C-alpha cells in the first residue's frame, strides 16, 4: 500500500457505501429476532413430545413383536384389570379388523384407567371419541399407552381411526363405564390383578374373527 501524499486525509468512504455497512435498523432486528424465535419455538413444540417420550410411540416405552403379542403378557389375556392401588389397566389387542377382547371393556366411573394397546399386524388406531381425548396410533412393535379417567357412566365407542385395510370402517369396540355400586353384567372381581372382563382367546384372531366382527358391526 502506498502512503497517502502529504496533506491528504484518509480515503473517504462515500456516504451510500457507509450506509450499506450500518448496523441493522431497529425494526429489522426486531423482525429478525421474532422470526428466529418463531422457528425455535416451532422446533421446540414439535421436538418436545419426541424427546419427552424418548422417541417412543404414543407415550408407551415398551415394545412387543407383532408375532409375539398373542403369547406375551399382558396381551395374552386382553381385558380390564384392577390394580392394587385402585387404578385400572385396560389391555387391548388390535388386529385387522377388530379389537380384543371382543366383549366390552368394563371399568368403573372415576377410576384412573391405563390403556395398553398392541397390534398383531398393521398400523391401527385406538380412539374413544366424544367422551375422551383417547387417541392412539397403534404401531406394530410398540405398546401404545395412555391414561384416562371416565367421568360419566355409559357405553362408549372405540374406533380404529387409522386406515388399516378393507375392513377398517368395521373396526370398532366398546368400553362400558359403570356407575359406582353398579353391577356390570360380568362383575369385576376386586382381587388384585384379576381379570374383570372375559375375552376371546387370543387365538381367535387367527380364525376369521375379523369377518365375524364385520357382521356384528353391519
Residues of this chain that bind ligand CUA (CB under 6 A):
97, 124-125, 160, 162-164, 168, 171
Distance CA 117, CA 139 (A): 9
Supply φ then ψ for residue 158, to 5 degrees: -115, 130
Q: Which is nearer to ligand CUA, 135 or 149 (CB)?
A: 135
Q: Which is nearer to ligand CUA, 109 or 123 (CB)?
A: 123
3-state helix, strand, coil in the chain (%, to 5): 25, 25, 45
Distance CA 165, CA 162 (A): 9
Q: Which is nearer to ligand CUA, 184 or 217 (CB)?
A: 217
Q: How near is the Cβ of 134 to ligand CUA at its closest, in Å?
A: 15
Count the residues in the chain.
218
Residue with cell 396381551: 75
What does the block give as the cell for 215? Answer: 357382521
Q: How near is the Cβ of 171 to ligand CUA at its closest, in Å?
A: 4
Q: Which is nearer to ligand CUA, 48 or 163 (CB)?
A: 163
Q: How near is the Cβ of 72 to ligand CUA at its closest, in Å?
A: 20
Q: How near is the Cβ of 213 to ligand CUA at its closest, in Å?
A: 11
Q: Which is nearer to ligand CUA, 88 or 126 (CB)?
A: 126
Q: How near is the Cβ of 166 to ligand CUA at its closest, in Å?
A: 10
178 burial (CB, 10 Å; 0-12 / 13-18 / 19+) is: buried
| DSSP H or E segment with residue 155 | strand 154-159
Amino acid at each position: 500500500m502506498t502512503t497517502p501524499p502529504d496533506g491528504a486525509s484518509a480515503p473517504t468512504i462515500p456516504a451510500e457505501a457507509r450506509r450499506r455497512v450500518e448496523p441493522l435498523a431497529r425494526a429489522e432486528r426486531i423482525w429478525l429476532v421474532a422470526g428466529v424465535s418463531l422457528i425455535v419455538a416451532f422446533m421446540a413444540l414439535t421436538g418436545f413430545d419426541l424427546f419427552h417420550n424418548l422417541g417412543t410411540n404414543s407415550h408407551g416405552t415398551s415394545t412387543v413383536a407383532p408375532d409375539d403379542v398373542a403369547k406375551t403378557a399382558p396381551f395374552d389375556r386382553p381385558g380390564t384389570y384392577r390394580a392394587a392401588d385402585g387404578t385400572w389397566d385396560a389391555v387391548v389387542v388390535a388386529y385387522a379388523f377388530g379389537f380384543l377382547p371382543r366383549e366390552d371393556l368394563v371399568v368403573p366411573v372415576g377410576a384412573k384407567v391405563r390403556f395398553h394397546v398392541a397390534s398383531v399386524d398393521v398400523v391401527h388406531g385406538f380412539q374413544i371419541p366424544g367422551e375422551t381425548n383417547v387417541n392412539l396410533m397403534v404401531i406394530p412393535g410398540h405398546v401404545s399407552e395412555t391414561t384416562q379417567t371416565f367421568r360419566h357412566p355409559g357405553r362408549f365407542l372405540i374406533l380404529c381411526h387409522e386406515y388399516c385395510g378393507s375392513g377398517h370402517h368395521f373396526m370398532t369396540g366398546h368400553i362400558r363405564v359403570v356407575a359406582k355400586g353398579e353391577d356390570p353384567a360380568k362383575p369385576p372381581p376386586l382381587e388384585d390383578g384379576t381379570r374383570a372382563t372375559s375375552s376371546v382367546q387370543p387365538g381367535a384372531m387367527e380364525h376369521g374373527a375379523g369377518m365375524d366382527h364385520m357382521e356384528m358391526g353391519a
